[in-house]
Structure 1
Amino acid sequence: MPYRLAVAAESVSHLMLRQHLARSDLAMPEWRLLAAVGRFGVLSPTAAGERTSMDKVKVSRAAASLVARGLMRQGADPDDGRGRLLRLTRKGSTVFSGVASTASDIETALASGLTRTEWNALHKALSKLAAHTQSMLVDASNE
C-alpha cells in the first residue's frame, strides 16, 4: 500500500507539472510551499514544513527561491525574535490562484474516473489515513 500511494501521488504531481507548473516555472517544492502559504495565510517555516511534509532544507530552499522571484515575503515573527514568517506577495497570490485553478480542474478530471461514492470514500479514507499516520509519528517521537 505505501508503494501504491506513492505511485498515485507521483502521478498526480506529474499531472500538475504538465498542466501548470511547467508554464509557471515552479518546481514541485516551490508549488507545495506556495500552496500551503496561499491556503493557510502566514506560516512559519516550521509550520510550512509540517503542512507540506517537506524537511527544513527543502522549505528553506523553496522559500529562498520564491522570495527571490517576488512571489513570497519572509519577515520577522513578532512573537519570536529569531523566528521568520512566510506570506505571499500580490504576485504570489496571483500565481497561487492560477495554480489552484489548475489543481481544481485536475481534481475534477480525476473525480470523473470514480463514482461519487468512491470519490467520497477516497477523501474520507485519505483523511483518516493522514490523521492516523500523524498520530503514529507523534507516538514514535515520544518513545
Structure 2
Amino acid sequence: MTQRTLRLDDFLPYRLSIASNLVSDVIARAYGALFALTVPEWRLIAVMAESDGITQQQLCLRTRMDKVTVSRAAIALAGRGLIRREAHPQDGRSQLLTLSEEGAELYRNVAPKALELEARIFGQLDPADLTLLRDMLDRISRAAERLVD
C-alpha cells in the first residue's frame, strides 16, 4: 500500500475551510457595513427568528459556535436592544432568548440582503449542482458529527 502525501491544496478539510472563510468574509463585510452586525450576531438573529425562544446552549448546538462566541454575540445584541432574555418557563435557571421588535425588524431588513449575497456567490452554479452541494454538505456534516459524538 502506498502512503499518501499530505498536500494542503488537495486536503478537503482545508479547502472546505478556505471556501467557508471566504464566503464568511464577504458576508461579514456586508453585514458590518450595512447593519453593524458580526457574523456570529447575524447567525444568532437568524436562528432566533426561526424559533419562539431558544437557550444559549441550544444556540451553540444549532450554530456550532462555541459558548464564548455565542455569549459575546448575545451580550452585544442585548446591549443594542435586539434580543430579550426571559426566564425559561420549565427551568428557572436558564434563559430563553427571543428577538425584540427591533431585532425582528432588523432580521426582516437583513434577510433579503443575505439571500442576495447567497445568489451572487452561488448563482454561477447550476440548480442541480446546488442541490448536489447541499446534499453533499449534509452528508459531510453527518459523517463529522458521528466522529464528534
Same-fold call, TM > 0.5?
yes
The separation in 1 between residues aligned to 2:29 and 2:72, in whole angstroms, is 22
SS at match of 1:85: strand
Q: 1:15: how far off?
A: 1.7
Q: 1:129: how far off?
A: 1.3
Per-residue CA deviations over 1:62-86 (Å, capped at 9, x if unaligned) read 1111011000001111111111111
The separation in 2 between residues aligned to 1:107 and 1:52, in whole angstroms, is 18
Show the counterpart of 1:141. Answer: none
Asked if 1:14 is matched to 2:14, the reply is no
**Greater radius of gyration (CA):** 2
**Does the CA-based 8 Å contact 2:49-2:104 persist in structure 1?**
yes
The separation in 2 between residues aligned to 1:20 and 1:83, in whole angstroms, is 29
The separation in 2 between residues aligned to 1:97 and 1:16, in whole angstroms, is 16
Gaps of 5+ in 2: 1-11
Per-residue CA deviations over 1:3-40 (Å, capped at 9, x if unaligned) read 11111111111221233332211122211211211123
TM normalised by structure 1 equals: 0.89
Asked if 1:131 is matched to 2:142, the reply is yes
Gaps of 5+ in 1: 139-143
Show the counterpart of 1:96. Answer: 107
Higher relative contact order, chain-length normalized (CA < 8 Å, sep 6+): 1
Per-residue CA deviations over 1:90-140 (Å, capped at 9, x if unaligned) read 1101111222211111121223221222111101111121122222211xx
User: Number of aligned pairs?
Assistant: 138
Change in 2 beyond 3 A, CA 1:77/1:94: same
TM normalised by structure 2 equals: 0.86
**Does the CA-based 8 Å contact 2:55-2:97 persist in structure 1?**
yes
Matches within 5 A, 1:1-143: 1-138=12-149
SS at match of 1:103: helix
Q: Which amino acid is 2:87 matched to?
A: A
What is the percent sequence identity of the aligned residues?
A: 35
Structure 1 vs Structure 2 CA RMSD: 1.4
